[in-house]
Chains A and B, each alone.
Chain A
């Protein structure tokens, strides 16, 4: 009834091509942004921040990054954990070498460094495809973790090989370290999420994104119509790694505070982000958010229900959690192989026709 195009006249090309062509969607988007920027910072406490919002926001960035590579450009990658580690160690080296520089610059630079590393490991994609490329990126995962464990320079020669984020500031407000305020770290991550999502959205609907999708759909045909596979694939690796690097930097510096490469950025992290992308929906920015929310929030929610409300023993609850999340993943993929984003699309189609579907 409210959810329709009719009556919403567009008179310019820009209006016609906006992200949310339907008025209702547009206002909903503004409402979400207003809520996220103007309401949440005032009410957030450290539990909601550390258990819910920070992991969700940070994984959403990683999922957007991986979605560009896997969902838009069709290059399967299992190296996400390794690239997140590059972001984390880059930001650690920058933070400790230049303590007075704003964290915003450090995080962006960590993204740039990860992009360079991503391009290097993306070079094999020009020759190998599909499963073979997945194995090549798997090598990146193991090599990078090994490197950060092996070379003491990366962890500033600390005795244990752990990296810990010292206190650093943005505009005089502490963002990392122990004495951070919940609203500050939340807003810091939120700004990066919005920044990444807007860039990703605009890249994927422009020339660059169309080239990626052409490569994904059929690389030989894309080459015949004039898409340069070298530039398309490497740009996908660069942009994807840039986002993944940012998420790795935030993950270590803002969320964890101290990290150990094998434990925090191991192969399980690569799989987790890949699952987010697959469950959320390949080739969809909204899907990245939905997938991250599904895999981050569901375990926390289940834990709170099973242990907090029902008072079950923690080990039984933990095992049940695995089973429930696993079963839901399978059910989701059977019911809708294109992920939560496709469910959302179908729901929107239905809504447009409601209440007169014929």
Chain B
């Protein structure tokens, strides 16, 4: 028995060994725990794109992609373990999909010289690349989201929302607290009244918050939720008959999982996004042909085209494009994490590039530079159509209010630099 087990283990290791390829990407995913419903589609999209590159193009620039997946359960301790266990394999970039884990990785990854891409989450002031050399958060961050949310309110009110009441329902964690500062500044500028309603992890109990909303009757509700909190909030909003078109969620509160449980009641719910939804892009035909139909899809393979699947896919697309840029800059295909960082810093996404990838109009055009690790902050608004079960884009990609954001980013990143003795600069 013992011998059999030993042989089996040895055989398993031998099978696993040839899978080692030259470009290693990591997926710190969470397919278990209270946030699994949102973690699974993202991880599937991320994995499927790399599978597609391996199957269709033979990897990136001729180098096969090796995707290491590590389960974090949205738990920071497991995140540390995952980071330590994968960084030895010369992982090129980390995308932890958790603001808490991102905060932990910022100093660690900087010391180890590995880039972190926190796309639409993490520490907003990482946009200032002179301080956060290894941290990227293009194409949009939380403060962009908050600002564009307010812009949308201005648009539908003819440019004047003074005296209106806006409530923010947020996950009581680092993630949920991120937009507060921006909203406070915006409230000063535009003269609306902001009220804050925190919801504690995991957010299954929100009766008191929504009772307060029913009592205060805010004109608009913004939401910074994640996991089961979204579904509960939308259901509660339906229960108190809050007009759904006045309820706007950030992109992490805008997936099919969040609105489907509330059924027809969720019709008209709005969410912010920085990429398109749906599967009507040429790339998805390739995914169907090379990945799904070939039986190589990650997970159950039933998430293709959902909002979070597309976001995971978009994250993988941007990572692959940055790797291509890095390959072009360094002149060889087997790049190192340091070259990957340089590639991310000179990444430029144009409309033509996206069209060539089979994703025309999927995401905004932007250009990363050393000073700006966050892109241009272009965010659009989508609205849920409960009958068709789809998200419809109801605005163009519009830029956030840079007058509010830039001073805040400078202030927060300078505080970080002072706390950690970092000299800002591009060298």
Contacts and interface: CB of A to CB of B under 8 A. Distances in A.
Interface in A26-50: 46-47, 49-50
B32 A159 contact: no
A262 B29 contact: no
Contacts of B77: 55, 256, 264
B57 interface: no
Given A160-B177, A266-B201, A256 B104 contact: yes
B293 interface: no
Contact of B172 (A55, A262, A304, A311): A262
Contacts of B124: 159
Contact of A149 (B73, B110, B172, B415): B172
Contact of A258 (B103, B173, B177): B103
B32 A50 contact: no
Interface stretch (A76-84, A314-322, A337-345): A314-322
A55 B172 CA distance: 26
A311 B12 contact: yes
16 contacts: A50-B80, A55-B77, A149-B198, A159-B181, A164-B103, A166-B420, A178-B420, A258-B100, A262-B201, A263-B100, A307-B70, A308-B16, A309-B12, A309-B16, A313-B69, A317-B71
Contacts of B13: 309
B84 A160 contact: no
B contact face: mostly helix, strand, loop, or mixed:
helix
B111 interface: yes
A224 interface: no
A102 interface: no
A255 interface: yes
Contacts of A55: 77
A256 B104 CA distance: 7
A351 B415 CA distance: 61
A149 B111 CA distance: 29
Interface residues of B, number: 51
Contact of A257 (B9, B73, B108, B173): B108
A55 B31 CA distance: 23
Given A50-B80, A257-B107, A259-B76, A161 B177 contact: yes
Interface in A253-309: 255-260, 262-264, 266, 300, 303-304, 307-309
Given A260-B76, A311-B16, A313-B69, 10 more contacts: A159-B178, A160-B175, A161-B173, A178-B107, A256-B80, A258-B103, A260-B173, A260-B174, A263-B201, A314-B31
B63 to A, nearest CB: 21
B264 interface: no
A110 to B, nearest CB: 19
A177 interface: yes
Contacts of A264: 76-77
Interface of A: 46-47, 49-51, 55, 96, 149, 158-162, 164, 166-167, 177-179, 255-260, 262-264, 266, 300, 303-304, 307-311, 313-315, 317-319, 322
Given A47-B84, A159-B412, A160-B123, A256 B15 contact: no
A160 B182 CA distance: 12
A139 B88 CA distance: 43
Interface in B202-261: none
Contacts of B352: none
Given A50-B81, A178-B107, A258-B104, A159 B76 contact: no
Contacts of B403: none
A11 B71 CA distance: 57
Q: Which of B73, B76, B111, B180 has the most CB of A within 10 A?
A: B76
Contacts of B71: 303, 307, 314-315, 317-318
B70 A177 contact: no
Nearest to B124: A159
Given A257-B104, A300-B81, A314 B111 contact: no
Contacts of B29: 314
B73 A318 contact: yes
A199 B93 CA distance: 45
Given A260-B174, A263-B100, A309-B12, A318 B84 contact: no
B174 A50 contact: no
A47 B85 contact: yes
B107 A177 contact: yes
A301 to B, nearest CB: 12
Interface string B5-32: 0000100110110000000000001011
Contacts of B351: none
A262 B176 CA distance: 12
Contacts of A96: 419
B157 interface: no
B99 interface: yes
B76 A263 contact: yes
Interface in B114-155: 123-125
